[in-house]
Amino acid sequence: MSAPRLEAFRTAAFAPHIVPCTSERSWIDRLAEAGAAASPPVSLANTHGWELLVPAAFEIEWNGGPAATDLVVRGIEPFPDDFPPEQFAASHAGLGIVSFNTGYLFRTPPGWNLLATGAFNEPRAGVAALTGIVETSATNDPLIMPWLMLAPGIVRFEADQVFCTVIPIQANVLEAWEFAIHDLGDDPSLVPARDHIRDAWKTAGTNLFGFRPGNAVENTGLKLNPPVDRTGTRPTLAPDSALSPTVSKWRPDSLLNSIDHDQNDQNIEGRSRLREGTLVRSPATAIIVPEPDLDASAFDFIYESAFLTPAECALLTETAQDLAARQQSEGIEDTFWKGRFLQFGDVLLRRPGSAALMREAQSRVTQRLRAFYELTAPIFADTAALVRWRTGMFMDPHADRASPDGGYHGFPHRDFGSIVYINDDYEGGELYFPRLDLVVKPTLGLLVAFTGGWHHEHAVLKVRSKDRLTMSAFYSFDASHRERDVYGLGPLG
C-alpha cells in the first residue's frame, strides 16, 4: 500500500521553497544557554509538517485603518526573478489582514484536508498567523496564508523565515470520537503515573504546575489545592523513570539498541590490517559480493544490490563526467577533497533530470534507513553529492561523526551515511569495515548505508585503476543540517 501523498503544484514560475519542519527556535536556543530545555511535546510539534519560507526580506506597515490601502508592503531586498513583493503579500480584506501568496495549489487524497498555520511555537511581535483548514482533496484554489497585524506599526520578515506551515489531517474524524473525564485513580493501569506524581511532589514540594498535593494523592485520586510554590523549583522526571523513559528516536527493539557505538579493541585491531589503502586480510576477513543466496538481512547495515538500475547509474555517471569542471574546489582546504565533489545544487542548476533522480534516491535511502533501524524520528539528507575517487586514492578508517581521541569532530550530527556505486569500470575501491573485518566489493547500483558511530567505522581501499564514482550522502536527526537544495522545490519540471 502506497503512502498518502501531499502534492504541491506551482501556480507561477516563481514559488517559495518548501522544507520539512525543524525544531529550531531562537527562544529554545536561549533556554539551552540558560541550562534549560523545551518540553518534548513542544519540540515534537515543531517538527510536524512542512514549512514555506519567505523568499526575500520585506516589511509590512499598517496605520491602523480599516481599508486595504491602509496597509503597505515594501521589499527590502530583491525577490527572486524580480517577483513583485506586493504580489507575494498584500491586504485585500483590510483591517490589518495580510494575505500571503504561497504560490502553490495543494492536493491531498480523498478523505484528507490540509491545516495551514504559522510556525508552531514561534510567536512574533506585532503580527500573528491565522489558522485554516483547507479541503485540498477538491479545491482548485491556490493556498493563501493570512496574517493579522495586531497593532499599527511596522513588522519585518526576513528571507527564509517561515510564513506558513502545512500539515495533512484526516477529514471528518472528530465526529467519531467520544470524550470522557476520569479521576486518575479510576484506571488501575495508571497507578505508576499516580505514584510518580506523588514522589515528584514529595521531592520538590510542588507539582509541575505549581500546585501542592492534597491528601487524596495518597489514596486513589488527585486533589489540586490553590497554587503555592514553596521551593521555587519544579520537579524533574528521572531519565530512567518507568513512567516517562528517555524519549528515543528509534523503537525499543531496533538494531541501534544492540550496537555499541563506542570504540573497542576490534576497531584498533581492524585498523592495524591496513597499510596505505591495502588490506592485509585475517583468516576471518569476509568479502561480500552479490550472490543469489546472499542474506542481506543478516547484516547490521543496509546492503541492497541493484538499488539503482543500470540506466540510472549511466545517467549519473554521464552527469559526473559532463560537469567535472563544476566539482567543488573553493572553500576546501584539504587537497584530498578538493575538486572531487559535484554538489547537488550544481546538478540541480545544470542537469535537472539527474537532480530529480538524486532527490528521489535520497528519499528512498531515507525510507530504507527509517525502516531498517526502526526509527521513530525523521532524518534528513545532508551533503548529497557525486564523488570522484581517482586512481591511487584511498581513505583511512574513520567514523562519520566521531574522532578517535574523543575530541572535536566537525560533523557530530551525521547519524548515518550512505554510498551508491554508479560505475563499475574500475578496480579496487572496496569498502572495509575494520570492526566487522568485512569487505564490501562495489557493484553497479549497489546501496550501502550504515550508522555514523564506531561500530560502522569504515575505510576505502586503494583504487587501482580508472575513476570510482559514487553518490554519497549523510543523514541527520537534526533538521537544521538538511541540505536545503534537496528539500527545496527546485525547477524539476
Q: Which domain holds residue 264?
A: 256-487
Over residues 47-68, the pLDDT tens digits come to 889 999 998 899 999 999 999 9
Q: What average pLDDT does this structure show over 461-488?
A: 87
Higher-confidence residue: 150 or 2? 150
pLDDT of residue 204: 52
- Whether residue 1 is contained in a domain is answered as no
Mean pLDDT value across the chain: 83
Higher-confidence residue: 35 or 410? 410
- Asked if residue 298 and residue 445 are part of one domain, the reply reads yes
pLDDT of residue 213: 40
Q: Which of 176, 203, 224 is the last residue of a domain?
A: 176
- Asked if residue 227 and residue 85 are part of one domain, the reply reads no
- Whether residue 202 is contained in a domain is answered as yes
- Asked if residue 203 and residue 262 are part of one domain, the reply reads no
- Asked if residue 143 and residue 38 are part of one domain, the reply reads yes
Does position 431 have pLDDT exceeding 60, yes or no?
yes
Does position 229 have pLDDT exceeding 90, yes or no?
no
The length of the chain is 493
State the CATH number of the domain containing residue 17: 2.70.40.10
pLDDT of residue 208: 45
Over residues 84-114, the pLDDT tens digits come to 888 899 998 889 999 999 999 999 988 899 9
Over residues 337-382, the pLDDT tens digits come to 677 889 898 898 899 899 989 989 998 999 999 999 999 888 888 8
- Whether residue 324 is contained in a domain is answered as yes
Does position 334 have pLDDT exceeding 70, yes or no?
no
Q: What average pLDDT does this structure show over 167-194?
A: 76
- Whether residue 138 is contained in a domain is answered as yes
Angle between helices 352-372 and 310-322 (to 10 degrees): 130
Q: Which of 209, 228, 247 is the last residue of a domain?
A: 247
- Asked if residue 356 and residue 283 are part of one domain, the reply reads yes
- Asked if residue 236 and residue 132 are part of one domain, the reply reads no
pLDDT of residue 335: 67
- Asked if residue 228 and residue 134 are part of one domain, the reply reads no
Residue 369: which of 411, 307, 288 has the closest Cα? 307
Confidence at 201, pLDDT banded by 50, 70, 90: low
DSSP state of 216: G
- Whether residue 368 is contained in a domain is answered as yes
- Asked if residue 315 and residue 242 are part of one domain, the reply reads no
Sign of dihedral through CA atoms 482, 488, 491, 493? positive
Range of 135-144, 195-204, 421-430 with top mean pLDDT: 421-430
- Whether residue 2 is contained in a domain is answered as no
- Asked if residue 187 and residue 148 are part of one domain, the reply reads no
- Asked if residue 290 and residue 218 are part of one domain, the reply reads no
State the CATH number of the domain containing residue 260: 2.60.120.620
Q: Considering the entire predicted model, what is its pTM?
A: 0.54
pLDDT of residue 333: 59
- Asked if residue 202 and residue 155 are part of one domain, the reply reads no
CA distances from 369 to 116, 361, 385 (A): 29, 12, 18
CA distances from 135 to 67, 97, 138, 147, 438 (A): 29, 22, 6, 20, 53
- Asked if residue 328 and residue 447 are part of one domain, the reply reads yes
Number of domains in the chain: 3
- Whether residue 460 is contained in a domain is answered as yes
- Whether residue 493 is contained in a domain is answered as no
Q: Which of 247, 264, 284 is the last residue of a domain?
A: 247
- The alpha carbon of residue 399 and the mean position of all alpha carbons in its chain are separated, in whole angstroms, by 21
